[in-house]
Amino acid sequence: MKEQYKIPDVVIRRLPRYRRCLEELIASDKDRISSNALSEITGFTASQIRQDLNNFGGFGQQGYGYNVKELHKAIGRILGNTRAYNLIILGGGNLGHAIANYTYLQKEHYFLKAMFDVSASLIGTYVNGTKVLSYSELDGFLDGNKIDIGVICTNKSSAQEVADKLVAGGVKGIWNFAPIEIKVPETVVVENVHLSESLHALTYYINRTE
Amino acid sequence: MKEQYKIPDVVIRRLPRYRRCLEELIASDKDRISSNALSEITGFTASQIRQDLNNFGGFGQQGYGYNVKELHKAIGRILGNTRAYNLIILGGGNLGHAIANYTYLQKEHYFLKAMFDVSASLIGTYVNGTKVLSYSELDGFLDGNKIDIGVICTNKSSAQEVADKLVAGGVKGIWNFAPIEIKVPETVVVENVHLSESLHALTYYINRTE
């Protein structure tokens, strides 16, 4: 599915929040919702919501609002949630453990296939049902398994080397938690979670508010 | 320090990355850099960089570029890095542990003062030098200590209750990792790290690239 033009990245990043709020509405048996009501739940303005959804053809009907289940399904389709993804975690520290235990993954058809670490005490053990392997097994593992996403939870100095192995092994997406800009070919997508950037944005706004 | 007008949020979120790249330049003894060279390192276009920095008066000189140390210091000032921040972590699971062990905090004058959890086996222990307390001690702790930022690493169902206690205890910023929209008064800032949103953005772009 290709759009006619490039949807702005900020719009893409709002879609999962819409979807999450719609899930809560489904859980509370709500069938339809106006953009005004959706605005209250999501914290985005109603006109922002209408504008965002119009990027994909719009899903609302004048005087009716949005059908909750249909909109939820449509956003899921846009975000690529109609298929399953195989993941591996690189780095079995606290963060790697946190992600292996992240219940959202199972719920949304993200399948964690293995975790890789250097620690002899960790290799061979299981984290939330996922086996920890040695990095020496990584290339072979990628040869034998179709992995969509590599989650980099290593330290800064190992991140690029690990990313290179992932790319060579056919991984299409890297979810990078290491505090470094990883270089990959254009055919591979990197999504960074740089906690320091989020923390600095927080302190910026704290100082603006005070 | 108040700007004349509101700087767009996307600009604020790019500043920490500029700052991080400038740190690497400082570490490699580079004194000045052009916006073109900064573009290569950060991955943002040179015109984007110039435009972003012009929001704050601009720091470059025609034909010279940017003074690396001055720009690093100036961005730190904008982001509020000229003061220290006291933090507490709510929730001592894997994610709470990961953040308590996040070396960046010490480096940048974020001081972790306590961690709170419900688990009897955890209460009274130390995580990276920080004592784990019981939630029953939270109100008293906030009375006796000036805490700037509460880091919510609880599950979804406890997050709002914990946030309410933080707000009542005078906390000015909440770094929220729980997958829920937390409601706070306007005087308190919430910065969300919703991992699911980041993961969905990744799958969106994987499907666009394939």
Please list the pLDDT of chain B residue by residue as tens digits (210 residues): 444 467 888 899 889 989 989 998 999 999 999 989 999 888 889 999 999 988 887 777 777 889 999 999 999 999 998 899 999 999 999 999 999 998 888 888 899 999 999 999 999 999 999 999 999 999 999 999 999 999 999 999 999 999 999 999 999 999 999 988 899 999 999 999 989 889 999 999 999 887
Q: For chain A, what is the largest distance between any 2 Cα atoms, rounded to a whole number of angstroms?
A: 62
A195 contacts B85? CB cut-off 8 A: no
Query: Number of CB pairs < 8 Å for A and B?
Result: 177
Instruction: Give Cα separations from B131 to B100, B116, B196 (angstroms).
Output: 10, 8, 30
Chain B: nearest CA to A62, how far in angstroms?
27
- Kindly state the tokens that stand for B110: 């974020």
Strand partners, A33: A66
Question: A24 to chain B, minimum CA–CA distance in Å?
Answer: 10
Distance from the Cα of B91 to chain A's closest Cα (Å) equals: 12
Tens of pLDDT, residue by residue, chain A (210 residues) = 444 467 888 899 889 989 989 998 999 999 999 989 999 888 889 999 999 988 887 777 777 889 999 999 999 999 998 899 999 999 999 999 999 998 888 888 899 999 999 999 999 999 999 999 999 999 999 999 999 999 999 999 999 999 999 999 999 999 999 988 899 999 999 999 989 889 999 999 999 887
- Which of A102, A179, A204 is nearest residue B12 as measured by Cβ atoms? A204
Q: Among A10, A80, A194, whose Cβ lies nearest the Cβ of B203?
A: A80
- The ipTM assigned to this model is 0.90
pLDDT score recorded for residue B2: 45
* Cβ contact, residue pair A203, B80, below 8 Å: yes
Which pair of tokens denotes residue B202?
């990744």
List of chain B residues whose C-beta atoms are within 8 Å of the C-beta of residue A122: none
Residue numbers in B near A40 (CB within 8 A) = none
Nearest CA in chain A to B17: A197
Which positions in chain B touch A16 (Cβ < 8 Å)? 194, 196-197, 200-201
Helix (H) or strand (E) holding B96: helix B94-100
- pTM: predicted TM-score of the whole model, two decimal places: 0.88
**DSSP E strand boundaries for chain B:** 32-33, 66-67, 85-90, 110-117, 126-127, 130-134, 149-152, 173-176, 189-192
Please tell me the predicted confidence (pLDDT) of residue A2: 45
Chain B residues in contact with A202 by the CB 8 A cut-off are 149, 173, 175, 189, 191
pLDDT of residue A5: 65
Q: Do B191 and A207 touch (CB under 8 A)?
A: no
Separation between Cα atoms, residue B50 and residue B66, nearest integer Å: 10
Which chain A residues have a beta carbon less than 8 Å from that of B200?
A: 15-16, 19, 79-81
| Cα separation, B209 vs A187, whole angstroms | 6
pLDDT tens, residue by residue, A83-129: 999 999 999 999 999 999 988 888 888 999 999 999 999 999 999 99
Mean pLDDT of chain B: 91
Q: Across the interface, do B172 and A209 touch by the CB < 8 Å criterion?
A: yes
For B85, name the nearest residue in chain A, comparing CA atoms only: A203
